[in-house]
Structure 1
């Protein structure tokens, strides 16, 4: 490990020494503030350099979310042929220009610095010169305390080792436990924010289940591994978690995933400020709906006096009633006619059915 990462030991130790020289102008050079802020500044510098990779990570994560339905279809289609399934997956990645490892680039790029810092602090705890940290700086770093805990000690170190650095085991364990809890909570909140606000809610994919699982796995990992890390490494890890949380909050607010809750909230904010330009098709559909709503008027209810005395409805009803009454009256009169009427009808029928007058011969 020392042979492979040896050059990085010099890089990490040189950066820390430069920041330590700057903070020594403000604080005591042997204080935990000078050395602790040097580690924090190292994190900030590394994360600033990793911003381009972070942007690629965001794009890769969104592409993977969009591809989840197609990936699931490929898995179902070639369930019994793993080789064909792998080939189709690689073909899909190539067609869409997606790299599954892009979402891990910031972590992979940061890992060598994390390991190098761990080894530098481990050398300091053992009293060994490392990188550009010579004997005077080594002794200064060993005596540096943060809230009573030396930067080079661990939760699992013995009481004799901790006391040799001028601290108590209780102070070391209280500080390390608090830092581990803060690390776990910051990681949990970061992952939960990603799951609840920046995931497309219209698509249910296995990717969401994986993210949900990681939301609970990472805090447990921090708790397990944290007790074996020096206090200085815990400072580094807590700082990078806080940076990640703030960076993600900024991205979710300014550039959320389409279809997510954060995207809807951003659209509402822009609409309230009048900065959201509405799609012409949506504007046309909205105007058509409003016109149809305006044209669809409910009939007005007329007062009782108007319904009784006037109005077209009353006239139609009256005329209908009059016609019925006339028909009833005529039928009643017909029934009440004397028998003479029937006799006259019979005579007229005889006249119609009687012998006809001979027609005059047509003159030739």
Structure 2
């Protein structure tokens, strides 16, 4: 077993434990043991448990990014101070001042990347387990050959095997061999949903959760590129994924989209449009705390009184009735 396999072994064992546990649960509830929907729901449950367990790491990543944003103005001052100076002495001086600033503020440029690096082996283990099962390979733990075959041969709607992909069925169709249109329809629909969810997730960040300073930096241009690049990656690579793996990616994408929405709403980047919107909401509720510790309350302007329509004399008499 190579180094990567050794690192992933315990993670894959846990993933298989969760996948088999959900499959057993749904089977005991009366769902078909070999049905595609049973395995799909097991994948959904697996992804939700794993992503929920990663929430603390995600929150830590957000806090690290916030700290880096706070020290960004100081870092820019140091860079401007040595701008255009390429001699060895200036480079060393800039490096010393930068490290001193990081030490003083308690920040680290790698701290915001560390949580993401910790997530990568887990996600790779998830993908590896599902991909092996779809190719009828036994796992390292509870996903034995019998369960792997059940997973690989399971079909949605009785026509779409979870181990098939849009690309494989397209090849059969081009060769004039029998193919499954159900697989192609389901796969195409999921590619559209995966692409849309990824685009919405990136759009939330670019349009609402960036400060004016960030929008003026090269980082914003990179985010704009990612806004269109990542959805295209899903659009082109998704056609080659087996249906089972695509359900994993789709569930993960939807989780990320909802999680990102909640983070932007409740923990927005300082100075961003989302932060201003949050302050306005808190102020209307009387929950916004100012820098001096006082509660800031924004009173909504009174609604204009409804204008009464003029009533003619004849109509007025009719409404009030004849005088006695």
**Shorter-chain TM-score: what band?**
0.7 to 0.9
Match of 1:8 in 2: 11
Trace 1:156-171 onto structure 2 (pairs within 5 A): 156-157=167-168, 168-171=179-182
Equivalent position to 1:154, from 162, 165, 172: 165
How big is the alpha-carbon RMSD for the aligned residues of Structure 1 and Structure 2? Answer: 3.0
**Is the CA contact 2:39–2:151 (under 8 Å) kept in the aligned structure 1?**
yes
Displacement of 1:24 in angstroms is 1.2
Displacement of 1:125 in angstroms is 3.0
Q: Over residues 150-178 of structure 1, what are the superposed CA-to-partner deviations in whole Å (9 max), with x where a residue is unaligned?
A: 2223333367999xxxx944332332222
1:199 counterpart SS class: coil
CA distance in 1, matches of 2:266, 2:38: 35
Match of 1:145 in 2: 155
State whether structure 2 residue 47 is matched by structure 1 residue 43.
yes
CA distance in 2, matches of 1:20, 1:144: 12
Going by fraction, where is helix more abundant, 1 or 2? 1
Trace 1:268-347 onto structure 2 (pairs within 5 A): 268-277=280-289
CA distance in 2, matches of 1:90, 1:191: 31
- Summarize the Cα distance change of 1:191–1:231 in structure 2 as closer, same or farther, 3 Å threshold: same
**Is the CA contact 2:195–2:235 (under 8 Å) kept in the aligned structure 1?**
yes
Equivalent position to 1:205, from 212, 217, 225: 217
Q: Over residues 247-273 of structure 1, what are the superposed CA-to-partner deviations in whole Å (9 max), with x where a residue is unaligned?
A: 121122222222221222222222222
**Is the CA contact 2:60–2:115 (under 8 Å) kept in the aligned structure 1?**
no
Match of 1:353 in 2: none
- Summarize the Cα distance change of 1:179–1:265 in structure 2 as closer, same or farther, 3 Å threshold: same
Match of 2:322 in 1: none
Displacement of 1:59 in angstroms is 1.4
In structure 1, stretches of 5+ residues that fail to align are: 284-364
Task: Tell me the number of residue pairs that the alignment of Structure 1 and Structure 2 aligns.
Answer: 279
1:30 counterpart SS class: coil
2:168 counterpart SS class: coil
Equivalent position to 2:268, from 256, 264, 281: 256
- Summarize the Cα distance change of 1:268–1:119 in structure 2 as closer, same or farther, 3 Å threshold: closer
Displacement of 1:124 in angstroms is 2.4
**Is the CA contact 1:124–1:141 (under 8 Å) kept in the aligned structure 2?**
yes
CA distance in 1, matches of 2:120, 2:156: 24
Larger radius of gyration: 1
**TM-score normalised to structure 2 length:** 0.74
Match of 1:225 in 2: 237
**Is the CA contact 1:201–1:261 (under 8 Å) kept in the aligned structure 2?**
no
